[in-house]
Structure 1
Amino acid sequence: MPLDIDGFKLRTVYRFKPRTLKSVLSAIKLYDKFLSENGLEPSVESLALWLDSLQRQGYKPLTLRRYADCVRIYFETMMIPVDKDMLRAVLKRFPYVINPIKDYLTEEEVAKLIVNTKNPIRKLVYAIQYTYARRLSEVLNLRWGDINFRKHTIRFRILKRREEEYATYHLEGWIEDLLKKYFGEKHHSNKKVFPVTKEWIERMFRRDLEKAGVKVKGRRLTPHVLRSSRATHLLRRGVPIDVVSKYLLRHKRYETTVTMYRSVMKEEIAEIPSAAETLQISHVS
């Protein structure tokens, strides 16, 4: 039985961004082709067989996990009854690989970037992204209705969630001053704060770093580094990792934060003084 790809597309067209939907549909079409060629029905068993065949063809584990998640979304959306325990077992075979943070900006470098960026939109995007450790898309999704100058709050829609979820933070004084200075206070609540594209910010980021005197050669630096840099700086200043994980980064799983920032934690652990030093014991007989 062929998959109802058109029906799935209609039900999810508003759930995903166009590029994401295109990737999901691409994976589902590959699964549909496998079912047709082998005379199989959509099920957890056929999903496992398909993933095994792709693995033998040399597909990477992360790609297989993404494909598996796309099919899982199809099962859920089209309400296809499957054994959830079996599905979890299949997904567990292809866990997501979370890479630890390898590069970040120092506090001095972030300050140089924000102070020396002349374009007011990019200056504010960098400042807000770093201050609240948000993803670039979350900053660019800001509407004026998300900023309350009277209550001094700023609200972000958290991405990577199936249902709408928002995070509200205190609007820091210097961010508020910059917003008022460059854009004023009165705007239509549904109007975007930053009417620019993600691609434009990404394209200009390295240029702004270079102009600010920050070394970029040999470093993988994208705007997302502002988010990881903020988390790294807070961890090094002694903010508990569970606070950084739940309140700032809004990671769904605590283990994600630990895995990504374990290198920072190792450095902090290495700086823990010995018990003999803290007890001021030089010799015990």
Structure 2
Amino acid sequence: MENFKRYLELRNYQKRNITKILAMVQEYRNYIERGNLPIKYIIYLKQRKCRNNPEKNISINTINNHLFALKIYKTYQEEILHQDTYLIICRLLKRNHLPIEILSPEEVQHLFENTINIRDKAVLCCLYYLGLRAGEAVGLLLEDVDMKDGKVFIRKSKTGYQREVPIHSKALDIFEEYLKKRTHKGDCFLQGLQGNLTTAGIEFIIEKVAEKSKIKKRIYPHLLRHSIATHLLKNGMELIKVSRFLGHRSLESTQRYTHI
């Protein structure tokens, strides 16, 4: 697992995500070592209890995270070790990819209504109206946000693809107000107390806003990206355009939102 950890580090995964991926892959390895069949792992996950709350099963989002970790591990096996021992897991993932829980437009609006700090509203805009990953949001430079032409340039992304996305009119209004009050402690668009905002800072902001909103769902930064993708598809945007908006490598990644 040490070599796999190094593989993740070289691909710029964040430390906390590396820890989670390693733990999920190790859980799968332990499951197989006990003599269980790989094809039954999805059943195991659906029945697995929360460690912090043994009365409840793990959530759909957590199951998806486990399957995604195994997909990364399969890629590592193929690229580095030239093995394909986890092909069965990827077939299982495609066949059993679980639906994603999202926020309704009303719940998204409720989040904005419960956000007083203009910087925090700008964070919500980046995650929802721009559909950015948390890492993409904190990587935005001030020069990447073109208020005049109403577009944002994403130079750093998980997939390695650069792209431009339009700024929604509601986000424009919030960004304009934020820029008037923005502190100049760093070169990035989103600022924290000590300088550029971090992904951990975004997670803290969303956690704080979610707690205040009292929405009875687990709300985290990527959930807003899931939500805007589904809302765009429901409103009739073509799949390929949503895929480009999100910066996906393939349409398969975007098709998971069509379950709605």
State how far apart, in whole Å, the 2-side matches of 1:21 and 1:124 are: 24
Equivalent in the alignment of 1:177: 173
2:230 maps to what in 1? 232
The one-letter amino acid of 1:208's match is V
Check if 1:68 corresponds to 2:45. no
Alpha-carbon distance in structure 1 between the residues aligned to 2:76 and 2:70: 10
Report the equivalent of 1:147: 145
Distance 1:172 1:192 in 2: 20
Cα deviations across residues 11-52 of structure 1 (Å, max 9, x unaligned)?
98664245289669979xx9xxxxxxxxxxxxxxxxxxxx99
- Kept in 2, the 8 Å contact 1:142–1:193? The answer is yes
Q: Structure 1 residues 146 and 14 mapped into 2: Cα distance closer, same or farther (>3 Å)?
A: farther
Match of 2:154, SS state, is strand
> Does the alignment pair 1:192 with 2:198?
no
Counterpart Cα distance in 2 of 1:211 and 1:53: 39
Q: Which residue number corresponds to residue 218 of structure 2? A: 220
- 1:211 maps to what in 2? 212
- Report deviation, 1:229: 1.2
Report the aligned-residue RMSD: 3.9
2:32 pairs with 1:55: yes
Candidates 239, 245, 260, aligned match of 1:248: 245
What's the secondary structure of 2:129's corresponding residue? helix
Letter of the structure 2 residue corresponding to residue 230 of structure 1: I
For the pair 1:106 / 2:86, whether they are aligned, the reply is no
Structure 2 CA distance, aligned partners of 1:243 and 1:113? 26
User: Structure 1 pair 171/187, CA: closer, same or farther in 2 (3 Å)?
Assistant: farther
Which residue of 2 is the match for residue 282 of structure 1?
none
Q: Conserved in 2, the CA contact under 8 Å of 1:105 and 1:229?
A: yes
Question: Partners of 1:69 and 1:20 in 2: how far apart?
Answer: 20
**Residue 73 to residue 185, structure 1, CA distance change in 2 (3 Å):** farther
Q: CA-to-partner distance for each residue in 1:76-135, whole Å, 9 max, x for gaps?
A: xxxxxx5xxxx4x54523307264434221112212212330122211110121112221
- Between the aligned residues of both structures, percent identity stands at 23
Residue 87 of structure 2 aligns to which amino acid in structure 1? K
Q: 1:247 to 1:191 in 2, by over 3 A?
A: same
- Equivalent positions of 1:10-21 (< 5 A) are 15-17=11-13, 19=15
Match of 1:268 in 2: none
- Mark the CA change 1:143 to 1:108 in structure 2 (over 3 Å): closer, same or farther: same
Displacement of 1:168 in angstroms is 0.4
Quick one: distance in 1 between partners of 2:178 and 2:70? 46
In structure 1, distance between residues paired with 2:156 and 2:241: 17
Q: 1:80-99 counterparts in 2 under 5 A? A: 87=83, 89-95=84-90, 97=93, 99=97
- Specify every segment of 5 or more residues in structure 1 that has no aligned partner in the other structure, as ranges: 31-50, 76-81, 265-285
For residues 229 and 192 of structure 1, the distance between their equivalents in structure 2, rounded to whole angstroms, comes to 25
The partner residue of 1:117 within 115, 118, 128 is 115
Using the alignment, how far apart are the partners of 2:158 and 2:117 within structure 1? 29
Equivalent position SS for 2:89:
coil
Counterpart residue type for residue 221 of structure 1: I
Distance of 2:77 and 2:231 partners within structure 1: 39
Q: How far off its partner does 1:155 sit?
A: 1.0
AA at the equivalent of 1:169: V
Match of 2:202 in 1: 201
Separation in 1, partners of 2:9, 2:29: 29
Distance in 2, matches of 1:106 and 1:187, equals: 32
What 5-or-longer segments of structure 2 have no aligned partner?
43-66, 191-195
Mapped to 1, the partners of 2:129 and 2:21 lie a distance apart of 36
Partner of residue 130 from structure 1, selected from 128, 131, 140:
128
